[in-house]
Amino acid sequence: MKIVLSIGGSSINPKGEPDLDFLKKMAHLIKESKNEFGLVSGGGSTARAYANAARTLGASEYEADNVGIVSTRQNAQLLVAALKGAGVDVSKTVFTDFDQAKLVTNKVVVMGGTIPGITTDTDAVLLAEAIGAKRLVNISNVSGIYNRDPRKNKNAKKFDKMTYDQLISLAAKNDGRTAGTHFVFDMLACKLIARSNIETHFVDGRNMHDIKNSIEGKKHSGTVVGK
């Protein structure tokens, strides 16, 4: 089965430096799995710091996004190194184009960001559409989708399962957000998984057991979004 893993910068680089243990464990998991993988990495706090620095220096939003994209690709290159180190057959290039990525067969393809104006949530879904993956696993520093922001509401409840429409309404509600907070998954990404019926799992990057189970389509403590 083809599966896309969207790996947040917060998991690759949680505290200002790459988490080698996480990278090695992810590579090992992919090596052991019988599935075919496309990987997309996010930029995390490095992307935000660099994009903000660029803005402060006078860069436009378009230019700041391009700075953010460089961070996502730097993390993607680390994933390539980790996979190679684990003996996984991986494309050496970090792809910047979905049509090129979809030409690859029998190798893990790795991407970061692509164009300004979107985030790697959307890139991951577009890669899934391009290669025909019907399962997407979003790995980040949140353990699933909650009915309200769990960082602000002690009583926030996590969904085990939800439909695409429920996710879209929740993302829409969170669109009136204040600066600095954002919903787990972009609205555009939410709409794209719905249009192509891509079952999407949200799991915590610190929980390898959940990551493994979500890849294999087994029960986990995160959230599954489907029809």
Residues contributing to the site for ligand UTP (CB under 6 A) = 8-10, 42-44, 47, 51, 65, 68-69, 72, 113-120, 123
Rounded to 10 degrees, what is the CA torsion of 140, 141, 144, 148?
-130
Residues 15/148, Cβ–Cβ less than 8 Å: no
Q: Which is nearer to ligand UTP, 35 or 55 (CB)?
A: 55
C-alpha atoms less than 13 angstroms from C-alpha of 182 in its C-beta half-sphere: 11
Least distance in angstroms from the C-beta of 171 to ligand UTP:
13
CA-wise closest residue to 30 among 96, 68, 84, 111:
84
Least distance in angstroms from the C-beta of 106 to ligand UTP:
26
Q: Which is nearer to ligand UTP, 108 or 126 (CB)?
A: 126
Q: Hey, what are 42's tokens?
A: 């996010």
Residues 148/184, Cβ–Cβ less than 8 Å: no
Least distance in angstroms from the C-beta of 155 to ligand UTP:
24
Residues 189/124, Cβ–Cβ less than 8 Å: yes
Least distance in angstroms from the C-beta of 89 to ligand UTP:
25
Q: Which is nearer to ligand UTP, 114 or 213 (CB)?
A: 114
Q: Hey, what are 142's tokens?
A: 């949140």
CA-to-CA distance for 141 and 204, rounded, in angstroms? 5
Least distance in angstroms from the C-beta of 175 to ligand UTP:
14
Element (H, E) at 146: none
Least distance in angstroms from the C-beta of 186 to ligand UTP:
7
Who contacts 163 (Cβ-Cβ below 8 Å, separation ≥6)?
Answer: 225, 226, 227
